[in-house]
Chains A and B, each alone.
Chain A
Amino acid sequence: MRKPRPQRGLPAALAATDHLGKQLDRKRRQESREKKLLKAEQGGLDFYAPPPTAANEPDSAPVIGPPVSIPGWFAARNWQPFSFQREVWAAMAAGKSGLLHASTGSGKTYAVWLGALAALYPNLLDAPLAEAETVKPLTILWITPMRALAADTVRALQAPLPHLGLDLRVAARTGDTAAAEKTKMNTKPPAAMVTTPESLTLLLTRADAKEQFRHVRCVIVDEWHELMGSKRGVQTQLALARLAHWQPNIMVWGLSATLGNLETARDALLGAQATEAVMVQGVEAKNIVIDTLIPKTMERFPWGGHIGIKLLPEVVEEIDKNNTTLVFTNVRSQAEIWYQRLLEARPDWAGIIALHHGSLDREIRDWVELGLKEGRLKAVVSTSSLDLGVDFLPVERVLQIGSPKGVARLLQRAGRSGHAPGRVSRATVVPTNALELIEAVAARQAAGLRHIESRKSPEKPLDVLVQHLVSMALGGGFVPDELFAEVKGAYAYRALTRAEFDWALGFVQNGGALSAYPDYHRVAPDEHGMYRVPSQMIARRHRMSVGTITADSMMHVAWLTGGRLGSIEEGFIARLKQGDAFTFGGRVLELIRVQDMTAYVKKAKRKTGIVPQWNGSRMSFSSELAESTLDVMGQMHAGHFDEPETRAVRPLIELQEKWSALPGPDNLVMEAIASREGHHLFVYPFAGRMVHIGLASLLGWRAARDQPGTFSISMNDYGFELFSAQAFDWKKLIREGLLSEKDLLKDVLDSLNASELAQRRFREIARVSGLVFQGFPGAPKSTRQVQASSSLFYEVFRKHDRGNLLLSQAEREALEQELEIGRLSETLKRMRSRKLILTKPPRFTPFSFPLMVERLREAVSTESMSSMVERLLGELEQAADLE
């Protein structure tokens, strides 16, 4: 007899509920129908995700009686408007733009939405409408960073309308919207449209865009803190600048979590309009609780590592005690591991605990989110994929596995819990090693002092500008002088020079005056000097690639028997051989074959597999948290062990002080240790791992200028290790300028393989500026004749158009974002100003041990490609000898 087969395409836990499988099958059939339709219609960029399920419909609302006023609607639901909500309503009724910020989610949506309605009908704030009103043209735009949130938002916005006596159609238009629906929307737009930055830009590429947006009076940007730091935020700024160009009186509102630089957040959103704008503070969660799951015995608790499975029994206990718990991890691999271990510990939880991360298929994530909303799930292990979005009311408990990395992130995660009235929001840090106990204290103190991270808007990214120029040429055409003024109205381009603008224009027009691009045009002026896109094919290609701002080379993961599981980085699959087992979506899979960008798998017989390390999934340690961590260590150095966490780590801290010295706000601790292997130097600048990579390479390179590649390097958020076969006189080297800022940029570039970093940055730039094109869905092979990888473009520009500003942008982004050169130089300055304590501990200290372990995992090499080849061959030989 065959065993019953697991439900295809679902993790074990999900397959346990039978009706769900049927539901998904039905959806999948519908999907495939719609997909075919989509191809036939060819309607812009359409990634597919299933429509909301019937179960997603709002609960039964109060019976609709005669129209009520806005306060009346609140009263009917037994709600009392917060004072910040009244403030927003009044400001919007007066036509003002602004930014509304709060550390938790409560009440922000209805503040701005009802405010937008009050802007249309100011009397609604005092009295019901005299008669029912109908709003026909597209009047309000609601921009959300995630299309997955659109459906929930539409429902929330619709809820008050019938009670207010307003006939106003709300609809979502995102990449998920079916092509037929979009076509309908083009002739009959909704009065309020919920959309994403990409879909909005796509609408702006329509020749009749100006006509379409003629009546828009109000734009609301949700989760602005999430958008503002990225190129998608810049895309939003440019779209807003265009709308403001058409409608100088347009009202713009942003919703944001608490940030350290709210003024900048407001200015970045509102651009030239920021002067008249208001800033409103929402409910401040004074009673957000940050605490720690303290290990019962510290003796056996690890000094290093980042999985933290040691506290599994305590975590199980916490989950057991509460109805619904969210378990946040920092990286996907950690989420996979924790999910598996929880299931192993409690097999009876199969079906009621789930996994949620960005690589899982959309429908699996939808199912998890729905389960959370309906209170059906006991626990969900998640990465930042659940940081955003509509609130999941029943969540009682939030656990954070490992370092929170940033104050704002921890506050936001805490805000996921305790939404019911009278409850507090609470996040509990589950330390994965002893030092993380200190970070929990640091996060608590920083939150108390409102030391919260800032976000920066990118500065004049030319790739986004290049894309925008083509978009605007499609969207009715442009005159360069006017468009230059308009673009400068966007915050990111306030310092754009005319020369830079003209370069970008030249790059899309004919390659520019100084370089040779014979017979090339993407846009060209017509007889009236209006710049347009001359070719239908280019127009089509551009519309397809608008919005592919972020997309790594991902491969689908699918069952051999059919059904998709999600996607995974191509690089990971490439390292596997047929028959290898790996963990994904909470189960162990065996790789069968790779074909057409899909990895076909079946369930593995083995119990354990390799856990994929998703690239770029490491979060960086914020400087606010780093500062606060140093402060806490200063307190401990002064003998204050007042917090439960510091009391728990006290023995470890005392050991560190005894063997070496405790890093703190006023000193720079270095430890030189000689072991059987060689010579170790440990340095603790507390600047985050990205800065430490740069610093370690820089110091290593400066210490041994004539012998590159002599050091192997490891780093974590606290410090780094330089390991070498020979001994160095560090005191002397520091006196001679090891920490100097002189020639910093040059030395950093020389010490690291900087061109490879720039090439990595160029991948995104090539995609955004429309050089790399993914191809039309189902297009014939002939389109491949204009496909080339970003690395080919990078090479060809470097060889034949060295002055290309996109190359300079890649180099700048590599320095600023990959290496954080500003923070690096700041760190060097601080290292010099602090008192240097160089110790020679008898053995590895509590702070050096984790770095020592880390080195086995990571290394930064500074060698040339052919010597790397020799080394890799050597490794292979060695591995062969061991077999």
Chain B
Amino acid sequence: MQSIQLAGEEVVLCGDHAMVWSARRTLLVADAHFGKAAAFRARGMPVPAGTTANNLARLDALIDAHEVERVVFLGDMFHARESHAPVTLAALRAWRERRHDLQLLLVEGNHDANAGAPPADLRIELVGEPYIEGPFAFCHHPKPFMDRYVLAGHLHPAYRLSGRRESLRLPCFWLGEQVGVLPAFGDFTGTSTIAPLAGDRIYAVADGRVIAMPGERIAPPI
């Protein structure tokens, strides 16, 4: 966990791939990809059930630890059309019933557009990007928006930390001058290596710890 200043606000970077905007009691997660395993199974790829339950348990832990009142999904909450599978939705509905006071906001991502709108009884407010609030613009795609600081997902960013002999790829928060990208939250999601610009702030996640990467060491992009 690491508390930092972003666009004049205090935010907390969590080791479980989420961000907390303390002043607004809001938890931000990107790329949850609910039902990805179900979509795989429907297409003949054996992925065991259990990822949805695990994702929800992690959300619960974050919600309780930071006492938030709202969760904002920065796009790609659902993976594909087949993700609205009975097992996945049943788990989500049960969770929603336990968390009935929680506000849920989904900024539509590219996967959500394919998957279709979430069922109404989950009571998720679906909005297009950008969704402006305070100094921030909540988006899915990491593109600058006017004078706001964009918080986005989509990239599943990972940072490559290279030493003399070996190198590690670590999921990371990638905070640029105008745009900040969150690591993917979902349990069964991959990462892609980023090529940051000089001056960007990178916070990598290793073993649940959030560790700042030294800015001046960041390699120029290829």
A771 touches B222 (CB 8 A): no
- The interface centre, meaning the residue of B37, B43, B160, B219 with most chain A CB atoms within 10 A of its CB, is B43
User: Looking at B38, B43, B45, B219, which has the most chain A CB atoms within 10 Å of its CB?
Assistant: B45
Q: Is there contact, CB below 8 Å, between B207 and A801? A: no
Q: Check A873 for interface membership: any CB of B closer than 8 A.
A: yes
Report how far A880 CA is from B217 CA in the complex, Å: 8
Query: Are the CB atoms of A577 and B220 closer together than 8 Å?
Result: yes
Could you mark each residue 840-883 of chain A with 1 if its beta carbon is under 8 Å from any beta carbon of chain B, else 0?
00000000000000000011000011101111110111011000
Q: Is the CB of B48 within 8 A of A575?
A: no
* Identity of the chain B residue whose Cβ is nearest the Cβ of A520 in the assembled complex: B41
Query: How far does the Cβ of A66 sit from chain B's closest Cβ, in whole Å?
Result: 59
* Cβ contact within 8 Å between A872 and B41: no
Interface size class of B (residues with CB under 8 A): 35 or more
Q: Which partner residue on chain B sits nearest A880 by CB separation?
A: B217
Look across to chain B and name the residue whose beta carbon is closest to the beta carbon of A876. Answer: B217
A617 within 8 A of B: no
With A788-B188, A800-B51 as contacts: A859 and B46 at CB distance below 8 Å: no
B165-179 vs A, CB cutoff 8 Å, 1 = contact: the mask equals 111101000000000
Is B190 part of the contact surface with A, judged by Cβ < 8 Å?
yes
Which chain A positions have C-beta within 8 A of B54? 799-800
Contact between chains at A520 and B80 (CB < 8 Å): no
Q: Give chain B nearest CB distance to A881 CB in angstroms.
A: 12
Residues of B within 8 A of A349 (CB): none
- Least Cβ–Cβ distance between B34 and chain A, in angstroms: 14
Task: Please give, as numbers and ranges, the residues of chain B lying within 8 Å of A869 by CB-CB distance.
Answer: 161, 168, 170, 204, 206, 211
CB of B217 within 8 A of CB of A792, answer no
CB within 8 Å of A: which B200-222 residues: 204, 206-207, 209, 211, 213-214, 216-217, 219-222
Residue A516 CB within 8 A of the other chain: yes
Task: Say if the beta carbon of B187 comes within 8 Å of chain A.
Answer: yes
A866 and B209 form a contact (CB under 8 A):
yes
Q: Which residues of A contact B187 (CB under 8 A)?
A: 796, 799
Bound Cα distance A221, B37 (Å): 41
Q: Which residues of A contact B207 (CB under 8 A)?
A: 864-866
The answer to whether B4 has its CB under 8 Å from any CB of chain A is no
B28 at the interface (CB under 8 A from A): no
Decide: A516 and B50 in contact? CB cutoff 8 A.
yes
* Cβ of B95 under 8 Å from chain A: no
CA–CA, A60 to B161, complex, Å? 61
Q: List B contacts of A865 (CB < 8 A).
A: 168, 206-207
* A593, A786, A796, A873: the one within 8 Å of B51 (CB): A796
B113 within 8 A of A: no
Query: B42 an interface residue at 8 Å Cβ cutoff?
Result: yes
Which chain A residues lie closer than 8 Å to B86 at the CB level?
Answer: 518
Contacts of B8 in A (CB 8 A): none
- B38 in contact with A519 (CB, 8 Å): yes
Picked from A571, A771, A871, A879, the residue with its CB within 8 Å of the CB of B45 is A771
Q: State A858–B166 Cα separation when bound (angstroms).
A: 10
Determine the distance from Cα of A877 to Cα of B215 in the docked complex, in whole angstroms.
12
Q: Is B94 positioned at the interface, with any CB of A under 8 Å from its CB?
A: no
The answer to whether A522 and B162 touch across the interface, beta carbons within 8 angstroms, is no
Which residues on the A side are within 8 Å of B37 (C-beta)? 796
B168 near A516 with CB under 8 A, answer no
Q: Compute how far the CA of A877 lies from the CA of B204 in the bound complex, rounded to whole angstroms.
A: 17
Judging by beta carbons under 8 Å apart, are B46 and A786 in contact?
A: no
Contact yes or no, A786 B48, CB < 8 A: no
A574-B160, A574-B193, A880-B217 known; A796-B48 Cβ under 8 A: yes
Q: Which residue of B lies closest to A793 (CB)?
A: B47
Give every chain A residue within 8 A of B213 (Cβ-Cβ).
873
> Which residue of A has the minimal Cβ distance to B162?
A575
Cβ distance B198 to chain A, nearest Cβ, rounded Å: 13
Q: A91: CB under 8 A from chain B?
A: no
CB distance from B206 to the nearest CB of A (A): 5
Please give, as numbers and ranges, the residues of chain B lying within 8 Å of A518 by CB-CB distance. 38, 41, 49, 85-87
The yes or no answer to B134 lying at the interface (CB within 8 A) is no
Q: Is the CB of B44 within 8 A of A520?
A: yes
The reply to whether B48 and A507 form a contact with Cβ atoms under 8 Å apart is: no
Q: Which of A783-820 contact B (CB under 8 A)?
A: 785-786, 788-789, 792-793, 795-797, 799-801, 804
With CB as the reference atom, state the residue of chain A lying closest to B41.
A520
Closest to B80 in A: A785
| Min CB–CB distance A349 → chain B (angstroms) | 35
Minimum distance in angstroms from A672 CB to a CB of chain B: 26
Query: What are the residues of chain A within 8 A of B217 when measuring CB–CB?
Result: 876, 880
Q: Are A792 and B188 in contact (CB under 8 A)?
A: yes
Give B217's nearest chain A residue, CB to CB. A876
User: A786 to B168, Cβ gap below 8 A?
Assistant: no
Q: Which residue of B lies closest to A577 (CB)?
A: B219
B62 is an interface residue with CB less than 8 A from chain A: no
Q: Chain A residues with Cβ under 8 A from B45's Cβ?
A: 520, 771, 773, 786, 788
Is A515's beta carbon under 8 Å from chain B? yes
The answer, yes or no, to whether A591 is at the interface (CB within 8 Å) is yes
Task: Please encode chain A, from 500 to 534, with 1 for each CB lying within 8 Å of some chain B CB and 0 for all others.
Answer: 00000001100100011111111000000000000
Chain B residue with the shortest CB-CB distance to A509: B46
Query: What's the nearest-Cβ distance from chain B to residue A708, in Å?
Result: 16
Q: Is the CB of B222 within 8 A of A873?
A: no
Q: What 0/1 readout, one digit per residue, does chain A (693-709) give for beta carbons within 8 Å of chain B?
A: 00000000000000000
Contact partner of A876 (CB less than 8 A), chosen from B41, B48, B51, B214, is B214
Residues on A with beta carbons closer than 8 Å to the beta carbon of B79: 785
> Does A537 belong to the interface (CB within 8 Å)?
yes
- Chain A, residue nearest B88 (CB): A518
CB distance from B204 to the nearest CB of A (A): 7
Identify A858's interface contact among B165, B168, B170, B220, CB under 8 A: B165
Instruction: Give the residues from 537 to 582 in chain A that come closer than 8 angstroms, CB to CB, to chain B.
Output: 537-538, 541, 571, 574-578
Q: Say if the beta carbon of A134 comes within 8 Å of chain B.
A: no
| A870 cross-chain contacts in B, Cβ below 8 A | 211
Instruction: Decide: B44 and A521 in contact? CB cutoff 8 A.
Output: yes
Query: In angstroms, how far is the closest chain B Cβ from the Cβ of A711?
Result: 16
Question: Inside 8 A of A833's CB, which chain B residues have their CB?
Answer: none
Q: Which chain B residues border A522 with CB–CB below 8 Å? A: 44, 46
Specify which chain A residues have a CB less than 8 angstroms from the CB of B145 in the assembled complex.
none
Q: Whole-angstrom distance from the CB of B139 to the nearest CB of chain A?
A: 20
Contact check, B162 vs A873: say whether CB atoms are below 8 A apart.
no
Contact of B46 among A520, A789, A876, A879 (CB under 8 A): A520
Contacts of A796 in B (CB 8 A): 37, 47-48, 50-51, 187-188
B128 smallest CB distance to A (angstroms): 21
- B42 to chain A: which residues have CB within 8 Å? 519-520
List which B145-202 residues lie within 8 A (CB) of chain A: 160-168, 170, 187-190, 193
Cβ B214 vs Cβ A877 within 8 A: yes
How near does chain A come to B18, taking the closest CB pair, in angstroms? 19
Interface membership of B32, Cβ < 8 A: no
B40 at the interface (CB under 8 A from A): yes
Nearest Cβ distance between residue A67 and chain B, in whole angstroms? 54
- The answer, yes or no, to whether A42 is at the interface (CB within 8 Å) is no
Q: Does A496 contact B (CB under 8 A)?
A: no
Q: Contact between A578 and B222 (Cβ–Cβ < 8 Å)?
A: yes
Using Cβ atoms and an 8 Å threshold, which residues of chain B touch A120? none
B107 neighbours in A (Cβ, 8 Å):
none
CB–CB A577/B222 < 8 A: yes
Q: How far is the CB of A205 from chain B (nearest CB, A)?
A: 15
Q: 25 A–B contact pairs at CB < 8 A? A: A511-B48, A518-B41, A519-B38, A519-B41, A535-B43, A575-B167, A577-B220, A577-B222, A591-B222, A771-B46, A786-B40, A786-B43, A788-B190, A795-B188, A796-B187, A799-B50, A799-B54, A799-B187, A865-B207, A866-B209, A870-B211, A871-B163, A872-B161, A872-B162, A872-B168
New A-B pairs, 9, CB < 8 Å, besides A535-B44, A788-B47: A519-B85, A538-B44, A541-B44, A578-B222, A786-B40, A789-B190, A865-B206, A865-B207, A875-B163
B residues with CB within 8 A of A? 37-51, 54, 79-80, 85-87, 160-168, 170, 187-190, 193, 204, 206-207, 209, 211, 213-214, 216-217, 219-222
The 8 closest A-B pairs by CB, nearest first: A800-B50, A520-B41, A872-B163, A801-B48, A516-B49, A800-B48, A538-B44, A866-B207
